[in-house]
Structure 1
């Protein structure tokens, strides 16, 4: 027998809406009320008769909705044990059986107990049940087909997003590694001891960029990469480069996308400090504001440097696209010149929520 992987199990569970959740049940009940309204209007009755018809139809359809939701919730535990096609026809069969049972009971209750001589009293119970079972079979097939197509579309969108994210990562890795190798080449003949320590830091950068890790990691790991990179540039630029960190310890475990702060620090060094005649300071600050992590990387603007030339647009656009893939509209990257300080500074600000955007699970 072919085994089902945990990932396939999760996909099967998310194929059918989770009717164990109140939101899904409420959505189903609301839909049934709309159907009851449409059927009542379609009969063309007016006054008290229309109200009576709507009441009876609402009760009947809500019985079907609640019983179907309960059965699908109960059977949800078995979804991961079967193939998608089996789950599809299993749910279809359950819905048909539920409608058969509810329609039989409803016809008896409305005609014999409540003595309602409306919709259900116009035909024998057998015909009524068979007609509603046929309708349920068609509607359930279309509804489950919709769930199937929606499920496949979500899987495709997720796969495309992951592929795009990996492609963006692949684009940014050569960027900072190439600049680091240039720094190493500049030192290897004039300062061999420092170049040796630079190789160690560079190996850390290689390892971080090449190892297969998830999209997220603690802020402390990203700071470690920034420090490794800054040590390399400190050897190359010497006293010209000054660094100030201002990140509280309580934020070090905040999950952030890997290689999202380091490129901003690199831009600040290469397009800010390295082009200055004198010393310059790169300041990296972090704060939690209204439940979001705000990281600012600032550097002085070299004399004669324009705003458009500040920073590497490939790296900046790359970060913005990765943030959109991971967080949606909840995160943002802001770039701009701040002239309130003497000489002006260029500021890159990251605003990140604590959690990535969530994929809807069988809603």
Structure 2
């Protein structure tokens, strides 16, 4: 019996990420802000205030950096455990680090007679800091856990919407492909078998939902399979110009985004011409973005019309918005070059070489 399971989110995502520089900079900013607030609350002024701010900054930054290092190690080395256990472990790590740093600070103060720590023994100072750190850590971890749950729910909702959109584009794709096959069989039955094989490859790709993002080179291979089908149907009428440098082939793009744009260019552009038509597929990098243009000639006004619902275009626009938000754009419009009017579909996406886990579709494992 086959069993399919949705892969669970790694438990490391439940532990605050302090292994990277941006998180450490944020932590340092927060610690310094706390030091300033504590200094203002002490009503110290002048040189005494500056001295107190310096001592508090050193002390709080020491606690912050040590806690960050300890949580980073826990994140990488902790064996699988329940969420409540992870929460307690993180809280205990922060408490133990605070205890160790506070006791060390008291020893340094006494060893060099600095006079920063009041009292004769270490325990009032250490326990006070331990209680304060425990309360702050409890509130902070609770906030982080709540934010994590909200992010997981939002991601699950986005995944569901994305998969629904992916499912909607398949019947549209199947309908157009079968229409092409139906037009080919009466005129060239000897090559229908080759087209069926190419169609099976296209359907296999369209049904694959393991990843949202694939390298541009794979998407171009999908386009070329589709173009072989259309070249069989249209013959010499269809010409294709590829301008895709090697430097952009590893850029990640959502699956089945370029292919529907090319399909629209063939169906509503080249196939309606009386003579030959050139389809241009151009990709380039513009700073932090990948730009893919699909250009097709504009048929004359009296050319036979092809009914369209805009399903594919609307689907692409919704999917890229789910993945990239406002950073991605799909721009459609007419333009003109030296050969006459043309229609351009421009896909503008963030240039990413490796897809991140946060924008991958759910993966499935088979036992």
- Please say whether Structure 1 and Structure 2 have the same fold, judged by a TM-score greater than 0.5: yes
Q: Secondary structure at the match of 1:199?
A: helix
1:294 to 268, 272, 291: 291
1:97-124 residue CA offsets vs partner (Å, 9 max, x unmatched): 22223333334543663342x6x42686
Map 1:125-274 onto structure 2 (within 5 A). Answer: 125-248=122-245, 252-274=249-271
Name the CA distance, whole Å, in 2 between partners of 1:250 and 1:126.
Answer: 62
Q: What is aligned with 1:345? A: 342
Instruction: After TM superposition, give the deviation of residue 32 of structure 1 in Å.
Output: 1.4
Backbone CA RMSD of aligned residues: 3.2
1:170-192 residue CA offsets vs partner (Å, 9 max, x unmatched): 12221121011122223434443
1:166-216 residue CA offsets vs partner (Å, 9 max, x unmatched): 222212221121011122223434443243333222222222212344223
1:206-228 residue CA offsets vs partner (Å, 9 max, x unmatched): 22212344223343433333233
Q: What is aligned with 2:362? A: none
Question: Are the counterparts in 2 of residues 12 and 79 from structure 1 also a CA contact under 8 Å?
Answer: no
Name the CA distance, whole Å, in 1 between partners of 2:38 and 2:246.
Answer: 62
Name the CA distance, whole Å, in 2 between partners of 1:253 and 1:141.
Answer: 44
Q: Return the structure number with greater relative CO, CA threshold 8 A, min gap 6.
A: 2
Q: What is aligned with 1:355? A: 353
Question: Are the counterparts in 1 of residues 251 and 354 from structure 2 also a CA contact under 8 Å?
Answer: no
Distance change in 2, residues 1:310/1:36 (3 Å) = farther
Q: What is aligned with 1:81? A: 80
Q: What is aligned with 2:363? A: none
Distance change in 2, residues 1:59/1:225 (3 Å) = closer
Unaligned runs of 5+ in 1: none
Q: Secondary structure at the match of 1:173?
A: helix
Q: Secondary structure at the match of 2:340?
A: coil
Question: Are the counterparts in 1 of residues 252 and 354 from structure 2 also a CA contact under 8 Å?
Answer: no
Distance change in 2, residues 1:228/1:58 (3 Å) = closer
**2:118 maps to 1:110:** no
Map 1:309-328 onto structure 2 (within 5 A). Answer: 313-328=310-325
Instruction: After TM superposition, give the deviation of residue 346 of structure 1 in Å.
Output: 0.5
My pick for the range that moved more, 132-141 or 71-80, is 71-80
Q: What is aligned with 1:23? A: 22
Unaligned runs of 5+ in 2: 359-367
Distance change in 2, residues 1:75/1:203 (3 Å) = closer
Question: Are the counterparts in 2 of residues 299 and 345 from structure 1 also a CA contact under 8 Å?
Answer: yes
1:20-62 residue CA offsets vs partner (Å, 9 max, x unmatched): 3343333223211111110111121211222222222223222
Question: Are the counterparts in 1 of residues 11 and 80 from structure 2 also a CA contact under 8 Å?
Answer: no
Question: Are the counterparts in 2 of residues 292 and 351 from structure 1 also a CA contact under 8 Å?
Answer: yes
Question: What is the count of residue pairs matched by the alignment?
Answer: 351
Q: Secondary structure at the match of 2:16?
A: coil
Instruction: After TM superposition, give the deviation of residue 276 of structure 1 in Å.
Output: 3.1
TM-score (norm 1): 0.83
1:213-270 residue CA offsets vs partner (Å, 9 max, x unmatched): 4223343433333233233333444444333334346655544332111101111112
TM-score (norm 2): 0.82
1:265-293 residue CA offsets vs partner (Å, 9 max, x unmatched): 11111211233344322222334454754
Distance change in 2, residues 1:123/1:350 (3 Å) = same
Q: Secondary structure at the match of 2:10?
A: helix
